[in-house]
Amino acid sequence: MNFATVRHLVLKDVRHQRIRLLLIWLAAFFVPLTNFFQDERLMPLMVTVKLGVVFCFYLLIIFTLVSVILLDPTCGSSRFLKTRPIEWPAMLASKMLFVLVFLYSPIFIFRLVTIWISGVHLSLADQGLCALEMALIASGVAALFVFPALFFQRMATVIMVIVGCVAGTYVLVIFFGVLANTLGFGGRDLQAYGLFMSPEENHASVLVSGFLLVCTVLGLTIIPVALLRYWRPDVAIPFTLVCGGFFLSFVYFCYVPFLVDQFFSDYIAPPDVGELPQALSDQLHFQLESLTWDTSRSWDDSNGAKKRLESHLIEKLTIGGLNNRYFPREIESNLHIFLPSGKKPALENIERKENPSSAQYISNYLSQQCASDAPDTVSDKNYDLDRVMTFYGHNDYRLRPDIADSELKDASVHEKLIFMMDRVKILKILPFRDGVRTDSLRSCFEIRRVVEEGGVIRYLQNNSSVLLMLRGDPGRLAGPMADSFPSFVVINRKTGEILDDSSSSNSDDPFGPNLSWMTLSRFRPKGQPPTSTPPPLPTGWLNDADICFYEIEDVGTVTFSYSKTATNFLR
Amino acid sequence: MSYSVETKNLCFSYGNQTVLAGVDLKVSSGSFYALLGCNGIGKTTLLKILVGLLVPSDGTAAILGHDSRQLRRDDWLSIGYMSESQKIYDWLTGEEVIAFTRKLYRNWDQAFCKRLEKQMRLPLKQKVSRYSKGDRVKLILLLAMAFHPRVLLLDEPFSGLDVLSKEQLISCLLDTTKQEEWSVLFTSHDLAEVERLADEVGLIDGGKMKISEPLVSLQNRFRTVEVFGVGTLPQMDISAWQPHLKNGVLTYIETAFPGSRRHDLLQRWGDQTKVMPMALREIVLAFLTEFNPMDSA
């Protein structure tokens, strides 16, 4: 292969694409710099502009990729270079070099500058994996567009083929989706929806299903007809290869990252915690404070013959006995009700009343740990379970027993509740000011700016992460909390006062650091709406402010069972 | 004998439509071969197969002894191909296209290129996209000639050219090719120009090569014969095409004129016979209108 020829061909391509390349490189360098605009009012606008530019950036890269292939097409009988003294390896090398140097590099630079600005420190190995991951994704995406470009000569045809293949895939996905849905419900799907949907929703779902079915039938009819109409022997090879290319790209995207993940992942699943140690569970005491039928409502059925019933069972449970560093989290509930008539009402839904207790316990604990002068508000209760369970009588499909409200009297309730006992673990306490940061694996949390004005404190937080598929990060973050961003409170180291934290504006930028402006204020007195002005902070509060990072650890499970007759309600 | 261009039983179809059905072609070294035929008959296809842009369904095609499907880099240093439909980089100026192409050839003759540029009067500073059809053809021709190819394949080199451009092109081609003994295979509908340039002529019709012979031989054996004072249409020889009688004048085309035929003619028709030479245009027309002439011959 003659390298002078390769260089000559690359320079020709660069010359042709120079304006696009200039725009791509400018975007690669300068778009990440928009993340330095951290003004609260400008930030949303900048993010919107940036998203538009980034979209154009990638679109331009794809367009340039296709265009540079079509500049010297690989098919057709009017090719110029085909009749010139050039070996095909030189041609291939020139195109690959162009793509690598002029199209992949800007993506790398864009990514690297973004990571640098987001403040995440990657290890050398992770930097390598990041580059490998980008190469994998970029080559997969490139394959989608390169395949059609190899077999057609005009940009318009290539675009039409890509759109057609995407639409065809979409139709097939819908077809198999509808098919699977129908088979899954065994022909009684639409009626079965009625159990969970309102009649309006059910009708809408029938309409949507019908529409999708019609689209699928049309698509599956049109595709073969179009193939028969336009099929020519010389179309066969490109068509087969393009379809094969799409299929391979699909397989590539679905499997390759996960296959590679097996080799590189540093994810270690946390061990399952078993039952709570006996020493701790012995200290616990459960108290079922009330179990009462509350409001019950009945109304005539549409045919006038029957009455329908809706009743609520209110359950209050307290758990106490352990140090307030611990608190339980309900993970499973198994409840059965037996009526004296022998009928068994089905549980429709459980509504947990807003339960500030655990948060309160955590706050109290942190106050005590962080501030010497914190008041002792320790309670002997670690938890309040406050639930409203709703039961219905029969419905239109007669799948539930008919129950009269009088039958609820002396109902026997059997329940088994499993709780995970969690523990508060303080990670770090630092003065609350600009530059405070804490790092976890491929992610960082930092306070970029702190401003005190008008009795409230506002701060710009950056909680960015670089998710590496090859390390299994998306799965990791979806799972246990160990690697996610740590929880924290801003606390006064003298008084132990913890401030209410709310988001003022979030950048929601998928291509940059995850920045958000937050507001810290005193908690509003009970009964005041959240929109009301909170009580102002005294001057100098910030001087004694600390930020306390903590996490919640699972310690073990504990089970509580009871059988009790529910107290009857009064009508 | 070695041929610069040779095809054997060459077949090609576009889908179900057969274009070439066993074409045999031989172009001798140093000759100027004109490939003739109606529109869409397969002349361009034949040239594209020869340069490897299309793959034949059957048969073989070779240039300078190399199979067209396997032409290598060095082979292209001896082959010049020009087609009006060729996609050159029209976002470059003529000068830049030449500079780009020059670097691909180690045998590029810059002095010769400059001479061609001068002869062709190309607007080299202009972008190719703004070229007229004639200038575009001339530029592509220049790119095909400037490295002294041993074989030059030209697809419709005169199409769309004005008289002056055509004259420039022909004189340029004649000057260089005759001096350097290039083999030139070209297609054209401009039969007057073919007559000036070609040594040999081939006519494709119905997917087959109907004629392939030196132009001089073709012109020698074709004559229009007029016989006066004929009452009824007589029985004609097989070499006599398209005989017709009008107002006592029998007119036909004699396709085997030289040699004994002249004597035979005079003996049969006597002094009332007028024998006139035929232009290439008339010969080609006669071929195309005569039903299956080669078979009947």
Predicted confidence at residue A193, as pLDDT, reads 43
Residue A78 and residue B86: Cβ atoms within 8 Å?
yes
Backbone angles phi, psi at B175, to 5 degrees: -55, -55
Q: What's the pLDDT tens digit per position in B236-251?
A: 777 778 888 888 888 8
Q: Which residues contact A175 (CB under 8 A, 6 or more apart)?
A: A216, A219, A220
Say which residue the tokens 């290439």 belong to.
B280
Mean pLDDT calculated for residue range B16-38 = 89
Question: How much is the pLDDT for A221?
Answer: 67
pLDDT at residue B133, rounded to an integer: 85
SS3 for chain B is CCEEEEEEEEEEEECCEEEEEEEEEEEECCCEEEEECCCCCCHHHHHHHHCCCCCCCEEEEEECCEEHHHCCCHHHHCEEEEECCCCCCCCCEHHHHHHHHHCCCCCCCHHHHHHHHHHHCCCCCCEHHHCCHHHHHHHHHHHHHCCCCCEEEEECCCCCCCHHHHHHHHHHHHHHHHHHCCEEEEECCCHHHHHHHCCEEEEEECCEEEEEEEHHHHHHHCEEEEEECCCCCCCCCCCEEEEEEECCEEEEEECCCCCHHHHHHHHHHCCCEEEEECCHHHHHHHHHHCCCHHHHC
pLDDT value, residue A45: 82
- Suggest the residue from A77, A86, A232 to mutate for an interface test with chain B (most B CBs closer than 10 A): A77
Q: What is the tens place of the pLDDT at every residue in A50-93?
A: 888 999 999 999 999 999 999 988 877 788 888 899 888 888 88
Question: A85 vs B87: CB contact, 8 Å cut-off?
Answer: no
- Report which DSSP code applies to A367: H
Q: Are A443 and A485 in contact (CB under 8 A)?
A: yes
- Judged by average pLDDT, the poorest of A365-379, A422-436, B176-190 is A365-379
Place of tokens 């245009």: B281
Contact between A550 and A359 (Cβ < 8 Å): no
Instruction: Output the pLDDT for position A357.
Output: 65
Structure ipTM: 0.83
- Report the C-alpha gap between B155 and B44 in whole angstroms: 6
In the sheet where B32-36 sits, what is the strand order? B79-83, B151-155, B183-187, B32-36, B200-205, B208-214
Measured between CA atoms, how close is A139 to chain B, in angstroms? 28
Q: Which of A193-202, A406-415, A481-490, A505-514 has the highest mean pLDDT?
A: A406-415
Report residue B266's pLDDT band, with 50, 70 and 90 as the boundaries.
confident
Residue from A83, A86, A154, A155 whose CB has the most chain B CBs within 10 Å, to mutate: A83
Q: Is the Cα dihedral B35, B36, B42, B45 positive or negative?
A: positive
A73 vs B contacts (CB less than 8 Å):
87
pLDDT band at A7 (very low <50, low <70, confident <90, very high): very high
Please, what is the angle between helix A3-16 and helix A43-71, to 10°? 130
pLDDT of residue A376: 63
- Give B81's contacts in chain A (Cβ within 8 Å): 83
Please name every residue paired with A308 in a beta bridge, in sequence order, or none if there are none. Answer: A299
At residue A201, the pLDDT reads 57
Of B52, B74, B100, the CB nearest to A85: B74
Could you tell me what percent of chain A has a pLDDT over 70?
75
Q: Is the pLDDT of residue A295 over 80?
A: no
With CB atoms and an 8 Å threshold, state whether A8 touches B89. Answer: no
pLDDT of residue A307: 57
Radius of gyration of chain A (CA): 32
pLDDT of A253 over the 80 cut: no
Widest pairwise Cα distance in chain B: 72
A80 contacts B86? CB cut-off 8 A: yes
Using CA of residue A473, residue A476, residue A478, residue A481, what is the dihedral sign?
Answer: negative
Q: Is the CB of A77 less than 8 angstroms away from the CB of B14?
A: no
B63 touches chain A (CB under 8 A): no
The residue-averaged pLDDT of B240-264 equals 78
pLDDT band at residue A177, thresholds of 50, 70 and 90?
A: low
Cα of B129 to nearest chain A Cα, Å? 14
Distance, in Å, from the CA atom of B248 to the CA atom of B227, rounded to the nearest integer, reads 8
Quote the minimal CA–CA distance from B42 to chain A in Å.
14
Q: What is the mean pLDDT of residues A534-538?
A: 85
Contact flag B51-A84 (C-beta cutoff 8 Å): no
Tell me which DSSP letter residue A334 carries.
E
Nearest CA in chain B to A232: B15
Find the mean pLDDT for residues B71-92: 90
- Work out the average pLDDT over A110-115: 87
Indicate yes or no: CB of A78 within 8 angstroms of CB of B101: no
A-chain CB neighbours of B101 within 8 Å are 84
Q: How far is B86 from chain A (nearest CA, A)?
A: 5
Using a 10 angstrom Cβ sphere, with 0-12 exposed, 13-18 middle and 19 or more buried, the burial of residue A106 is: buried
Residue A297: name the closest of A569, A22, A25 by CA: A569
Q: What are the distances in angstroms from CA A224 to CA A148, A165, A219, A446, B235?
A: 20, 14, 9, 57, 61
CB contact under 8 A, B14 and A234: yes
Of the partner residues A16, A83, A85, the one whose CB lies closest to the CB of residue B51: A83
Candidate from A16, A79, A232 with C-beta closest to B87: A79
Nearest to A5 among B15, B83, B104 (CB): B104
Strand B151-155 relative to strand B79-83: parallel, antiparallel, unpaired? parallel
Query: Which carries the bigger pLDDT value, residue A332 or residue A42?
Result: A332
From edge to edge, which strands make up the β-sheet containing A456-465?
A437-440, A443-453, A456-465, A515-521, A500-506
A84/B76 touch (CB, cutoff 8 Å), yes or no: yes
CB contact residues (below 8 A), chain B span 134-153, against chain A: none
Considering only the beta carbons, identify the residue of A12, A77, A87 that sits closest to B54.
A77
Tell me the average pLDDT across B200-219: 88
| pLDDT value at residue A568 | 73
Chain A positions touching B105 (Cβ under 8 A) are 85
The model carries a pTM of 0.73
